[in-house]
Amino acid sequence: MNPTPFNASASAQTPFTQGLPGPWTAIFVAVALAIYPLVMSALDQAFYVNLGSRVLIFALAASALNLALGYGGMISLGHAAFLGIGGYVVAVLANNGVYSAWLSFPLAIGLAAATALLIGVVSLRTKGVYFIMITLAFAQVFYYLAISLPEFGGDDGLQLARRSSVPGLDLSSALSFYFFVLFTAGLAFVLLYRLVASRFGRAIVAIRENERRMAAIGYPVFRLKLAAFALSGGLCGLAGALLANASTSITPHTLTWHQSGLLIVMVILGGSGYFWGGLTGAAVYLILEETISDHTEHWNLVLGALLLFIVMAAPNGVMSLRQHLAKRVGGARGHGTAPLAATSHEGEAK
């Protein structure tokens, strides 16, 4: 049975496709991210350059999860497994004398994607809380493997004598490593944009909205969800490879369910289903964490209260504030909120 053509314009009205950025927004974000480390270096603030690298890495991991969670409706508590797999691939190769990024990074992506594919084959046969729990169970399996196998360093993890090598680029410098992370994450974001804006992305959104209807009109629901889950896992593996290089180490803590929960918090905080939701959530969380922890040892309490306030003020994430402001302005002008909302959706989708 041939599937009925998917109506992209209709899907543009759903709350999970309104976050696609226009070209000028993407250019502005890219320029701002490129200027940031130059300003910090000029001010002799290498710490903030390293913080910027960390934000970009977690933004990539959160955006990868957002593909499965925000666009596909697959709430996974196991994405830390893919993050850890990417990191351990780089660390294991480095401990065996292989530092080439051209070998370790593709292998990290491939192994994480293959693992996500195998986990997805089993997990996607369940739904709801059962899907959440089975992804959590798989992540815990990898966690206990990491702490039990001496080849992985046990509880202490593995150390890297130096960062991965890229011909013509010295990654030991904080500034050069930042631009390497920015370039790598930028390519991943371009791929994510192409996926979300394509018919594949529209179909994933439609499956999230009404899985039975999509199956009834002939779409291969299981295969589409599995593909999205595997792609999400592969990109998370890339983030793990970058994370291992950023800290020149990898520990089993990266594989814990707490790490998966942190990624979910970042996605929800930034805006689930908004393209910049992962980047925004990672930036807000990590900047607040670093700022508050410098002033009090009870920073977790303060951070939790601030996050609670943000979620209450913007239930759909920080990225949804633009839509709320547009509605308020439209209501104040007496033009009604519905036309403004529809226009905003269409403009963002383009």
**pLDDT (tens digit, 9 = 90+) per residue, 170-198?**
898 999 999 999 999 999 999 999 999 99
- C-alpha 307/C-alpha 285 separation (Å) is 8
**Nearest residue to 279 via CA among 194, 217, 186:** 186
pLDDT of residue 174: 92
State the average pLDDT over residues 35-53.
Answer: 92
- C-alpha 324/C-alpha 312 separation (Å) is 13
**pLDDT (tens digit, 9 = 90+) per residue, 207-226?**
999 999 999 999 999 999 99
Q: Is residue 115 part of a domain?
A: yes
Q: Is residue 1 part of a domain?
A: no
pLDDT of residue 4: 44
Q: Is residue 2 part of a domain?
A: no
Average pLDDT taken over every residue of the chain: 86
- pLDDT interval class at 333 (50, 70, 90): low
State the average pLDDT over residues 124-136.
Answer: 93
Q: Is residue 282 part of a domain?
A: yes
pTM of the predicted model as reported, rounded to 2 decimal places? 0.87
Number of domains composing the chain: 1
Q: Is residue 322 part of a domain?
A: yes
pLDDT at 330 over 60: yes
- C-alpha 97/C-alpha 74 separation (Å) is 38
**Nearest residue to 67 via CA among 123, 19, 5:** 19
State the average pLDDT over residues 131-158.
Answer: 91
Tell which wins on pLDDT, 159 or 343. 159
CATH number at residue 79: 1.10.3470
pLDDT of residue 177: 95
pLDDT at 79 over 60: yes
Q: Is residue 139 part of a domain?
A: yes
Angle between helices 79-95 and 101-123 (to 10 degrees): 150
Q: 151 lies in which domain range?
A: 8-349
% of residues, the chain, pLDDT over 90 = 65
Q: Are residues 90 and 164 in contact, defined by beta-carbon separation less than 8 angstroms?
A: yes
Q: Are residues 264 and 258 in contact, defined by beta-carbon separation less than 8 angstroms?
A: no
- pLDDT interval class at 336 (50, 70, 90): very low
Q: Is residue 3 part of a domain?
A: no
pLDDT of residue 219: 93
Q: Is residue 259 part of a domain?
A: yes
**pLDDT (tens digit, 9 = 90+) per residue, 283-325?**
999 998 888 887 777 778 888 888 888 878 888 888 888 776 6
Torsion, Cα of 146, 151, 157, 158 (10° steps): -140
Least confident of 61-65, 105-109, 239-243, 270-274: 270-274
Tell which wins on pLDDT, 293 or 41. 41
Q: Are residues 150 and 158 in contact, defined by beta-carbon separation less than 8 angstroms?
A: no
pLDDT at 3 over 90: no
pLDDT of residue 300: 81
pLDDT of residue 299: 79
